[in-house]
Amino acid sequence: MREFTFAIDYDAGADPIMDVCIEWPSVVAHSLDGFVTEDRFWRIERISGPERALDRIEDVRFDGTKCGESITERDCEAARYHDVLERSADELVIYTYLEDIAECESVHTLAGKHLPSGLVFETRRQGSRHQWRVLMRSDARVGVLYDEIGARLRDGLSFRMGHLRDADGWQRDSLTTLSMPDEQRTALRAAVEGGYYETPRATTLDDLADELSVPRSTLSYRLRQAETRLARRCVGDATDDRWLRDRETSE
């Protein structure tokens, strides 16, 4: 397999989903997409972030008047089906299926036009950037795809080249966005960016607390909670296989 990576940057007002990501920078959305034929594709998208942001994304996805796929001036015409697979205060998983696609110029349809069948897409949205990883059997015509995407982007979108190389393995965690309350994510980001986890530390809890305008004890608690979530994800949460263990016990 070969992989082609790139990113598309969005100005505010250029796309309804990206506008939510721009307004709430803590929102992170990962998706796994499959291009079935020239007129249909599916996507499973996992989004983490504040509840109000997730409400907005859900509204946009279920609004049949908003395209959300096209990267050119031409909106996609298609029959759209969406379903919420999971929903909590800080995480949303949406399944999307489009069929009878016509007059559409999205990354999916442009890639499907030039690349061999069997394409798989992994994407990540955060802030103003939508990152793409296209897995394909052959890259014989990927240059044509690169040229067309770059030339056909509508106003407010800009293209950033990544790389073209042998696929470096299946990204098995591409949909396992870490669910974390916004205040914990903010605390963790400030600690990382401030150098709190460097050796030696470049900042202190007191400095970070002043920066975030919260008591030192509150910041310490939020970081401990965030670190606990990360540790459990790293070694595998014991609840992940509970359904299997429960079944084995019953048998």
Are the C-beta atoms of 121 and 133 separated by less than 8 Å? yes
Residue ranges of the chain with per-residue pLDDT less than 70: 169-180, 232-251
Query: How high is the pLDDT of residue 241?
Result: 43
pLDDT tens, 19-34?
999 999 989 999 999 8
- Per-residue pLDDT reduced to its tens digit, 36-59: 777 788 999 999 999 999 999 999
What residue ranges do the domains of the chain occupy? 2-166, 182-238
Question: Parallel, antiparallel, or unpaired: how do β-strands 91-102 and 2-10 relate?
Answer: unpaired
DSSP H or E stretch at residue 131: strand 129-136
- Assign 87 to helix, strand or coil: strand
Q: What one-character DSSP code corresponds to residue 163?
A: E
Mapping DSSP to helix (H, G, I), strand (E, B) and coil, where does residue 218 land? helix
Find the helix packing angle between 16-23 and 51-61, rounded to 10°.
Answer: 180
Q: b or e along 213-239 (b: 16 or more beta carbons within 10 Å of the residue's beta carbon)?
A: ebeeeebeebbebbeebeeeeeeeeee
Residue from 109, 131, 113 nearest 122 by CA:
131
Round to whole Å and give the CA distance between 73 and 69. Answer: 11
